Chain A
Amino acid sequence: MSGFFGFDTSLPERGGQRGPGGGQQHFSGFQASNVDETFALGGAGEEEDLAVYTWGEGGMGGGGLLEGGDELNDETFGDDLGEINNNFQFSSQPATAPPTVKGKIASTQSRYKPKPVSDPFAFSEDDFYSSRPSKKTTTAKAPSRPKPSTGQSGSVENLWNKPAVSSPAWGTAPSAMTKLTPPPSASFPSQPPAPGHIKSLEEIEAEMAQMAIPSTSTAAPTQQKVFSLEEIEKQMMEQIEPPRQATPQQPAPPREATPTQVPGLAGSGYASQQALLDSMFPELGKGPSALGGLAPAFPPGPRQEGQSQPSQPPQPSPEELARMEELHKRITSKIQSMAKYNNLMGSSDKDFITRIQLSQLATADPYTSDFYAQVFSALKRSRMIAEGQGDGPTVVQVGAGMGLGVGGPVGNRFGKMGQNTMTKLSTQVKKLVENRAQHQKITNTAALQGALGRVTRGNAAAPRPVLAIPTSNKPENRPASQLNQQTGIHRAALTKKQVMFALEELYDAILELEQMRREAPPPTAMEEIEIWHAKCQAKVDIIWRRLMVMEPLDISIPHPFISLVNPIKGQKLFPRLLRHLPHTQSITLLSLLIATYTQLDVVFRAPPPPVADASLLTKADRLDRVKREAETDSFLQFVIPGVDMIINRCGLGLVAGMLAISAQRSEVWRVAATRPGVALYTALLSKAQSLIRSPTPDPMNPQQNQQVDPAELEQWSKTFTYFLHVLLPHLNDLFPSSVAQKAAFGPGAYLIGGDAVSDREGQEMERREAEVWGFVAVLAVNAAEEDQTNLVAALREKILHTVQSSRHPNVSPARAEMKLRNVNMFLNGLGLDASMIE
C-alpha cells in the first residue's frame, strides 16, 4: 500500500475533525490521552482486570518499545492510523471494565432513561451508565459488533477508509449534541462521541480513527470479547509502532484553520466536538508543553465520580515524559523535512503511473483495437526496409498474441526507464489479460441473463472495457449469399442498399482474410501452415460466393457483380480482391466484366462531353457530371490496372475470346467511346500484339512459353477484323474533342472547336485524346495492311485538323507538342510522321 498517497489525501479531513489546536498540540494530546488511558486503567486497580491491564501498561510504559520501532519511520508512514487503533484498543482491552463504546452507542437512550445504576469506575458518563450489564441497549448492540479483532487487525486500508465513511455522522451530531448536553448533570462536555443515533461497529471504528486522540478512551473498548493470551501478545507486538504512526497525522492540522478552541462555539458539530475535547483534555490546547499535564490524566472533573480518578495520575515518570517529548520532536522534524516534498512525485511514482497508463493500452489482440497504428507502422516499416533503412518493431509485444501499439520507435520513447518499465509492464499486462479473460468467462453470461430490452454495451456509467478479450468467435453459418438462393432466372437488380450491404460484407471478409494472411504461421510448422492455407482458402471461397460472379449472365441488369463494382467503394475493393483470387477465378471474373461492360455505370452513363459554358447547366446537372467524372477516374485508377494485370496473364486465345465476347455482347463503338472502354480495348489489343509479335518465351510466364497457336492466331485475326470493321465508321466519334464539338451548340460550338478554351482545360483534353490516339495506334498495329489504309482514310480529317491546330499561333507550345505527340503515336505505328504532312 502506498501510504504516502493515502496519507496525503485523507489528512485534511481527519485533521479537520479533530484538530483542536495545532498539530503539535494535537500530537501531544494524543500521547497524553494514551498515557491517560493507561493510567486510568491502572487506576481501576480494584477491578479484576488489573492483571491483564499490566500488560498494557508494560507496553505503554516501555518507552524502549517506542524507540525501537522508530527507525522504521521512513518506510511506513502510511500505516499510522491502524496502529493507533490497535494501540488504544490494546491498552484498553484488558480493562474490559470500562466499555466506553457501549456507552457511546447507548448514549442517547441512556440519557433519556432513568439512570439506574452508576458505574463508579466509568470514565465518562456514557461509560458510567452503559457499562452496566443490565443495559438493554448494550446487550442489543453487542451482536452487531461480533468481530472486534478484525477491526483492529484489519488492513490499514480499512482503517483509512472508515473515517471517510463515517465522517457525515459528525455533521448530524451537533444537533443531537446540543440537545443532549443539558440533561447529564455535571458531565456535559465529557462525551465526545454522542451522536444522536446508535452506531454500527464500522461507524464507531471510523469515529475512533477520526478523533483518534480524544476518543481513545471511549473507542478502545469496542472489543468486548475477552482476549486470549496470544491475541494480547499479538496486539502488543503491533503496538510497538504507535508513535511512528502518529506522525503522519501531524502535518494535517496546521493546514486547516481550526478556530474553534472555545467551548462556547458548541453550535456547530465541529465546535461542539471541539468543546468536548477541550473540556476533556484541557492540556491539549496548551501545546507540547501539555505533556507535562499528562499526570492529571482525567481533568474533566465533573464526570469523574471521584473514586477511581484521583488514584490514577502519577504514573509517567519524568524520563518517560522526556522520552516522549524527544520522540515527538523527532517526529515533528521528520515530518517537516518531508513536507517539502508534499505533492511532488518521485521518479518511481512517475514510473508507476506510466505503467498504469501503458497497461491501459495493452490488449490481447493489438490488431483489433489498435488496427490503424499496427498496420500503418507495418506498412511504414516495410517501406523503410524497402528503402534500405531498417527499423525495430513498433509493436511492443507482450507475450504471445498480445501487445500494444506504439507509434514511433520504441526504445527511447519512455526515456531512461524504458527498458525497466517495459519488462515490468509486460508481466503486469500478462496478468491483467489473464485475469480479465477469466473474469469475462464468468461474468459474460451471468450479467446479461434475464436482462430485458436492449442491452447496450458501454455508456458513461459502464464504459466498454478497455481491455476486451474476445471469448468466442461465433462461426458464420449464414448462407453465403442469400441472393444466391433466390430462384428464377430474372430478377430485379440489386438495390443500392443491398449493394452497400454486400460490399460491407465483402470488406469484412477481405479484412479478415488479410488479417489471416498477416498471421501466417512460421514456415517451419508444416501442419499449422496447412491448416492456415485451408482457412484462407475457405475465406476466399466465401468471398468468391459473395462476389456473385457465378450468377447467370442475364440474371439481372446490371449483373449483381457489376452492381458491386459500380460504386467507388466497390471499385476500390477490386484490386484487393484480385490479390487473393486464384488465376482461373480472376479470368472468370474478367470475362464476366467484359461481357457486361456496357452495364457499368462508367460506360452506360459515361460522363457527357464537356460544355463550353458551365453556367448553362443546372446545379444538379453539374453535380451529376462531377460524380460521373469521379467514378470514371476511380474506375481507371482502381479497376483498370487489375484488368490489365489479368489480361497480361492471358494467352492469345483468351484475349481473342474476350474481344469476341465484347464484340458480340455490346455495341463496340459505344463502349470504345468511353474512357474505360478505350482502356480495356487498348489493353486487350496491345497484349495480343505483344503475343503475336514476340513469341519468345517470357520467363515470367511459363504458361505462354510455347509458340502462338496458329488456330488461336487465326481466331484472333478474325475477331479483330470484325471488331475493326464495326468500329471503323465511328472512329472519329471516339475522340473526345470531336464529341465535344458535336455536342456543342450555339456560340459554344465556336468556343469548343476553337482554341479559346483555357490552356489547362486544353491540355486535359489532349490527355484524353492521347488515350484514344493510343487506342487507334494499337488498332493500326494490329490491322492488316488494307485495313490500315482504311484506318488512315477514316482518320484523315482528324489527323489533318490536329496537325494544323498544333501549328496555330493561338495554341500554347505545350499543347501543340501534345497534339503532335498524339498524332505521331498513331502515325509512327504506320511508319509515318506528323512532320511529313504538308
Chain B
Amino acid sequence: MLLIFSFFKTLTDQVITVELKNDLSITGTLKSVDQFLNIRLDGISVEDPERHPHMLAVKNCFIRGSVVRYVRMAARSVDTTLLEDATRREAKEAKK
C-alpha cells in the first residue's frame, strides 16, 4: 500500500484519468494524494459529459480513495523497472 502511495506521489502535477466505481471517469491534474489514496484533482473534465451533466460546473474535486476503480496515466510517467525494484523491497520489508 505504501508502495502505491509512493508511486502516486510521483504522479503529482500530471494529468491522469480516474475511473470511479460508478463508471464516472474524471480527467484532471493530480494535485495531491494521501496514504488512503484519496485523490485531489484540478482542472477536471468528465468523459461522457452528457451522462453526467452535473459535473460540468465542477472544476476540481477530491476523490475518496476507496471509490476509485482505475487510474490511467501516461506510460512514460511510470518507471517499470524501478517499480519492480520497489516491489522487491517492499516484499522484503514485509518478510522481515
Contacts and interface: CB of A to CB of B under 8 A. Distances in A.
A184 B83 CA distance: 77
Contact of A372 (B3, B13, B35): B3
Interface stretch (A75-83, A340-348, A373-381): A373-381
Contacts of B55: none
Contacts of A368: 89, 93
A464 B35 CA distance: 14
Interface residues of A, number: 31
A75 B81 CA distance: 55
B50 interface: no
Interface stretch (B4-12, B17-25, B59-67): B4-12
Majority secondary structure of chain B interface residues (helix, strand, loop or mixed): helix
Contact of B86 (A360, A371, A380, A407): A371
A357 B35 CA distance: 9
B85 interface: yes
A112 to B, nearest CB: 55
Contact of A504 (B2, B88, B90): B88
Given A369-B93, A372-B7, A361 B88 contact: no
Nearest to B13: A408
Contact of B6 (A370, A380, A457, A504): A370
A369 B12 contact: no
Interface in A382-435: 405-408, 413
B82 A511 contact: no
Given A360-B35, A361-B35, A508-B92, A371 B9 contact: no
Interface in B19-36: 32, 34-35
A373 B89 contact: no
Nearest to B1: A464
A572 interface: yes
B81 A372 contact: no
Interface in B55-96: 79, 81-83, 85-86, 88-90, 92-94, 96
A458 B2 CA distance: 13
A511 B35 CA distance: 25
Contacts of A360: 35
A18 to B, nearest CB: 37
Contacts of A357: 34-35
B82 A376 contact: yes
B13 A369 contact: no
Interface string A104-126: 00000000000000000000000
A457 B13 CA distance: 35
A458 to B, nearest CB: 8
Contacts of B12: 407-408
Contacts of A375: 82, 85-86
A540 B13 CA distance: 39
Given A466-B35, A508-B88, A572-B81, A370 B11 contact: no
Contacts of B8: 407
A507 interface: yes
Contacts of B83: 372
A572 B81 CA distance: 9
Interface string A441-471: 0000000000000000110000010101010
A468 B96 CA distance: 11
B62 to A, nearest CB: 13
A372 B93 CA distance: 14
A369 B2 contact: yes
A405 B9 contact: yes
A393 B54 CA distance: 40
7 shortest interchain CB distances as A-B pairs? A407-B9, A407-B12, A372-B86, A373-B6, A372-B6, A373-B9, A408-B12
Interface of B: 2-3, 6-13, 32, 34-35, 79, 81-83, 85-86, 88-90, 92-94, 96
25 contacts: A357-B35, A361-B35, A368-B89, A368-B93, A369-B2, A369-B6, A370-B6, A370-B9, A371-B86, A372-B6, A372-B7, A372-B79, A372-B83, A372-B86, A373-B9, A375-B86, A376-B10, A376-B82, A405-B9, A407-B12, A458-B94, A464-B94, A468-B93, A507-B88, A511-B89
Given A372-B7, A376-B82, A572-B81, 16 more contacts: A357-B34, A357-B35, A360-B35, A369-B6, A371-B6, A371-B85, A371-B90, A372-B3, A373-B7, A376-B79, A406-B9, A407-B11, A408-B13, A457-B94, A464-B94, A470-B96
